[in-house]
Structure 1
């Protein structure tokens, strides 16, 4: 022990400072020791026991990485099929975001992906599953309709009609030549071959009508009543010589123009020579080529206005009107008629001056009455209709799921092709998709049923002779007062006779003035049309739309000048969508080489027109050109003979169209001989539509003895095209 003696105050202060310094140095040493201890602990693993990633703060399966920044860790991306920041992840609902499945209801969202249920009954295709929105957007489940009628055996009873529908099929009536139904079966109907006698002329063919009666029709190139037939050079339905028919049928009378078709047999001056071949049709001493009233005698040839019609036959003698149009048929031309449609309302006050509508209803208030408004629910005072489909542009969606020419919003069977839009019971559901067409409680094809009078209410189903056809419809199936034997459409009360008096003119090259538009003259109550001008390509289209149809007629170029196109159309849906049968006389390059060089070859052609541009120079040249024009016209068939039509020669055509299966067949006769036959052509570009006539740069064309008849019966040769294939599947609707 050391003892220190302090002798003065200075010594005491010095000692106090020394002790304080000693204490501070001791504290520094202790802090240093603590730090070293901590560092040693870190080295020995103490830090790992307290890591920010242990336990992991990230979503299960997501990688965790430590960082020096707050909060000291970082999570990787969420698993595929999930979204979030790595700490929190949520499943992506691919079904809602991308709708990858054929049906929205068939998409199942899983924890990290999705899967599609199998295609619905009536469809086939692979299953689909995946992960993530991008995959779902780039991969779609494809389910294609199964044609049960083509690929499944025993869908309907043998010898009956099977109609494929989207996702299913429908069994219809017995095929032509068979009787019965889907319950009792279809058995051979009484046929001509069963008769013990020959009822028809040797140059005629026999038919057994729906009611079992025998009917005879003269073959092409012959005319008469079927029991007696004689040669018919011009194919207009009248024989070259009078025939001794006991029923005094008008078609047994001698043709008054043997070499020029005139199915109306018009003879203005009653001299026994038909107007079509009479050099002076009205007998006024002035030849037709010089006569300004060729069907009305007028030796003075007075013509007060500047058109080509003399006062004696001019329905507006003081106002030029070259078209002589007279909408209400009152003898006064539209251009000078104060009430064009004859509905009692003057034109200046009439909101449909060309369509009778005395009530003047106008739902959309656009000044155009509902009776003539192409969009009665939408204001469209200009009534523009660029594609000539009778639907105004402002309400034309061009969405047509079944391809029958009617947009879904106006289609009474939007998923079943039915161009005719027939709705026999007026319930808003077309017959093609209505299980009870006449609404009598008896199903058309089912139980209770099948209905033995599908279009006429008859809940008692009385059938006195047991032939499968109810008594109330035995003679007149559609109850339109026209007997089935002469009815153009025995199963549609809306169509009874061939009539093109009302038609729509469609100009296929509306721009420019190189050629004039066609001039159509209608004769014989709408069963004969003459086109007089060397014109731009154009159509005369009837307003009646058809499902299955047989369309026939005679065409004749009544001049020796020019060599261009004549023909007819079917399946017309709009000015960009129709089938055309057209015939050029000689090979020729179209005189306008723009937008592309078009070369026409002789020979009958069948074309499917599906134009992306519509009427104009592209479609014009595509129609002229023989062959395919991508995006405009597809050549379906061409007569391999490469023979053009001949001047002043009559040709008879017959086309069968069954749009429900795409069947088309074109046949052409010259005189009595079949000279061209397309055979069976299958194309479904247009699933039905309207009928009409076609011309392109050719004048003086006569389309005579026109006839159409509704017909959905599949021809016998179609069976050889579709051979049933065994498949294992579940069929909806059986």
Structure 2
């Protein structure tokens, strides 16, 4: 006997119906309906936004900006790479940190019109400790105490006496535990007292010695499996695992980690609220246990999503006073999270509002041996800038937010003239053996550890799919260094044919688009205003979604600045072109 399972064409065939239209699955088939809220047209002419840049009689954007349509249907202007401003007015932005080199006469007087400080390094937070107009990143004496940064044990706090009671690397004036050595200065509850000397690290009112989650606030102290680790921080809350071992760094403890993931989105089936449909974000707007991607009524208001003009906000009456296809209760704030769609990083998710890497997981990719030390991360600008200061083993700083489709961009800058190794960023991170990495080396070089195999690096920008059989260790370390495929470890998806390395103290802007539902990815790299590398359309479904972060390998003084991510599941136009060309090639 055979079991026949219905295929959902609306999921498996991305072009079953025209973009932005309703697709309804039926047993053995499907049917296409009208355009989704906010769009006009039909299955013949296509569904287009009610407003479009092309329909404007007057272009409000600066000559160095481009017009975009927000999901609300509003027109927005954004400065091109290498320029900064509010979009209506743009000025040169040499270091690509989001601030123009000179002040602009912006009508709204927002940050976009402010001049960048006298600094040629990316500095998206514009920190200036001594207020001298020179940004901390390029001020030789950032705190103005007369002691150069390289010799100052408090770079950002004046302390001419350089007193250091605990003999760590931080002087008493800036040490959040002046009498207890704590090189990381971690302060979980942000109360000004470092974790190393704080009697209540998470600030939940329960002393560390009595707290079953000392670093995660949990005043109720719930512990279902009674293993001494509270549910709030337990990697296996229903199975006893007091040691909390997690060998693959996927935030699931080893004793309950099945590694069974039918849809490949990085969530094991037993924890996946849509086990048959990739949905790394696990968004569940109505908290009914069914993820939005497989729930036909995301807000549970009785109106099916395909016909709901406020899909995430309860509005059974579907009131739409201005008849623009968007209900009144979600006009300009589709997910009702009090952050306007225009500035919301994920306007269709109330759980993600702004780019923020202040909370991150450090993943060490070569934990054994003493070839080099581990990376040290410093997060600035409210989580939108990361600095790595050490010449280190390969490592990652990974944010905790998981994404389905996403656009991720940032400015990369090596702020030194010493060394010539790897820096980059990651996406689709699922565990320490499964992620995508875009990495760039300055010069050609063979890795100095010839075991377990010889690894040769070329200077070209590279896009790799990491699916390591061995996990963190010497095999993965050498496979990452090596340009090319390493069976069982790393697959090279694309390499810049120019075969050139990055330049010292030069800012580069990357733009990544990833649509894991169809395996689409594309990377663009700009030097100043010039597009210098473009991967074109790359298709790979090794990882169908995951987390974002940055990558380093044996390179110090790396700045990732002006970071920005935005949820986006819309398939780019070039995907359809690529798909058609591929199908034609197959037929031939």
Q: Given the two structures, how large is their TM-score scaled by the length of structure 1?
A: 0.76
Question: Aligned-pair distance for 1:156?
Answer: 2.4
- TM-superposed CA distance for 1:644, in Å, is 0.1
Alignment correspondent of 1:674 = 531
Tell me what 1:11 maps to: none
2:39–2:325 contact (8 Å) kept in structure 1: no
Shift of 1:167: 9.0
Matched with 2:567 is 710
**For 1:626, which of 483, 489, 494 is the aligned residue?**
483
Matched, 1:419 2:280: yes
Tell me the distance in 1 between the aligned counterparts of 2:477 and 2:22.
40
Residue 257 of structure 1 contacts residue 276 of structure 1 at CA under 8 Å; is this kept in 2?
no
- Partners of 1:577 and 1:485 in 2: CA distance: 33
* Alignment match, 2:142: 281
Q: Indicate if the aligned counterparts of 2:37 and 2:309 stay in contact, CA closer than 8 A.
A: no
Aligned to 1:66: none
Q: Which residue in the other structure is 1:540 paired with? A: 397
CA contact 1:572–1:691 (8 Å) conserved in 2: yes
After superposition, the Cα gap between the structure-2 partners of 1:164 and 1:511, relative to the gap in structure 1 and judged at 3 Å, is farther
Q: CA deviation at 1:208?
A: 2.5
1:148·1:169 contact (CA, 8 Å) conserved in 2?
Answer: no
CA displacement 1:277-322 (0-9 Å, x = unmatched)? 1111001010101100000000000011121110100111111111
Residues of 2 paired with 1:465 and 1:707: CA distance?
A: 32
Say if 1:164 and 1:592 are closer, same or farther in 2 by CA, change over 3 A. farther
1:724 CA displacement? 11
Looking at structure 1, the residues matched to 290 and 499 of structure 2 have their Cα atoms a distance apart, in angstroms, of 47
Matched, 1:252 2:113: yes
The aligned residue for residue 594 of structure 1 is 451
Tell me if 1:697 matches 2:558. Answer: no
Question: Is 1:227 aligned to 2:84, yes or no?
Answer: no
- Tell me how many residue pairs correspond in the alignment: 583
For residues 346 and 104 of structure 2, the distance between their equivalents in structure 1, rounded to whole angstroms, comes to 29
Once the two structures are TM-superposed, the CA of residue 163 in structure 1 deviates from its matched residue by 11
Q: SS at 1:361's partner residue? A: coil
Shift of 1:488: 0.2
1:567 equivalent in alignment to 2:424: yes
CA drift at 1:149: 1.8
In structure 2, the CA distance between the partners of 1:367 and 1:164, relative to structure 1 (3 Å rule), is farther
Say whether residues 1:465 and 2:322 are aligned partners: yes
Cα shift readout 1:415-468 (whole Å, capped 9, x = no counterpart): 0000000000000000000010000000012xxxx1111000110111122222
| Structure 2, unaligned runs of 5 or more | 584-588
Aligned pair in 2 of structure 1 residues 725, 523: CA closer, same or farther (>3 Å)?
closer
Q: Is the 8 A contact 2:468 2:489 kept in 1?
A: yes
Asked if 2 retains the 8 angstrom alpha-carbon contact of 1:573 and 1:689, the reply is yes
Match of 1:686 among 543, 547, 554: 543
Deviation at 1:258, TM superposition (A): 3.6
Q: Who is 2:506 aligned against?
A: 649
1:350 aligns with 2:215: no
1:580 is the counterpart of 2:437:
yes
Give the corresponding residue for 1:149: 13
Matches within 5 A, 1:37-56: none
Pairing partner for 1:433 from 294, 308, 315: 294
Q: Counterparts of 1:21-36 in structure 2 under 5 Å? A: none
Q: Partner residue of 2:372?
A: 515
Asked whether the equivalents of residues 179 and 467 of structure 1 are also in contact (C-alpha less than 8 Å), the reply is no
1:203 to 64, 74, 77: 64
Inter-CA distance 573–164: structure 2 relative to 1 (3 Å threshold): farther
1:181/1:468 contact within 8 Å kept: no
Conserved in 2, the CA contact under 8 Å of 1:146 and 1:168? no
Q: Does 1:486 align with 2:343?
A: yes
Which is further off, 458-467 or 538-547?
A: 458-467
TM-score by length of structure 2 reads 0.95
SS at match of 2:476: helix
Match of 1:65 in 2: none
Q: 1:209 to 1:488 in 2, by over 3 A?
A: same
Quote the Cα distance in structure 1 between the aligned partners of 2:325 and 2:90. Answer: 34
1:524-539 correspondence to structure 2 within 5 Å = 524-539=381-396
Matching residue of 1:264: 125
2:251 match:
390
Could you give the per-residue CA deviations for residues 521-578 of structure 1, whole angstroms, max 9, x where no partner exists? 0000000010000000000000000000000000100000000000000000000000
Q: How many angstroms apart in 1 are the aligned matches of 2:498 and 2:330?
A: 47
The farther-off stretch of 249-258 and 282-291 is 249-258
CA contact (8 A) 1:164 1:660 kept: no
CA distance in 1 between counterparts of 2:27 and 2:237 reads: 31
Pairwise CA distance, 1:244: 1.1
Paired with 2:419 and 2:22, the residues of 1 have a C-alpha distance of 47
Alpha-carbon distance between aligned partners in 1 of 2:430 and 2:17, rounded to the nearest angstrom? 31
Indicate how the Cα distance of structure 1 residues 426 and 468 shifts in structure 2: closer, same or farther if over 3 A, else same. same
Within a 5 Å distance, the mapping from 1:371-390 to structure 2 comes to 371-390=232-251
1:442 aligns with 303
Over 3 Å counting, the alpha-carbon distance change for 1:158 and 1:538 in structure 2 is: closer
Aligned mates of 2:387, 2:374 — CA distance in 1? 14
Q: In 2, Cα distance between the equivalents of 1:404 and 1:163?
A: 24
Alignment of 1:104-115 (within 5 A): 107=1
Question: Residues 683 and 720 from structure 1, CA distance in 2 versus in 1: closer, same or farther, beyond 3 angstroms?
Answer: same
Supply the distance in 1 between the matched residues of 2:305 and 2:45 (Cα, whole angstroms).
Answer: 14
Q: CA deviation at 1:257?
A: 3.9
Residues 328 and 340, structure 1, Cα contact 8 Å, conserved in 2? yes
1:213 shift after superposition: 2.4
Contact 2:141 2:149 in 1 (8 A): yes
Q: CA deviation at 1:592?
A: 0.4
- Classify the secondary structure of the residue corresponding to 1:720: helix
Look up the match of 1:636: 493
Matches within 5 A, 1:354-369: 354-369=215-230
Does the 8 Å CA contact 2:335/2:347 hold for their aligned counterparts? yes
Question: Does the aligned pair in 1 maintain the 2:404–2:545 contact within 8 Å?
Answer: yes
Which residue is equivalent to 2:586? none
Q: CA deviation at 1:245?
A: 1.0
- The CA distance in 2 between the partners of 1:428 and 1:617, in whole Å, is 41
Q: 1:160 aligns with which of 21, 27, 34?
A: 21
After superposition, the C-alpha distances for 1:682-718 in whole angstroms (9 at most, x for unaligned) are 0000000000000000000000000000000000011
1:121·1:167 contact (CA, 8 Å) conserved in 2? yes
Q: CA RMSD, aligned part only?
A: 2.5
Structure 2 match to 1:551: 408
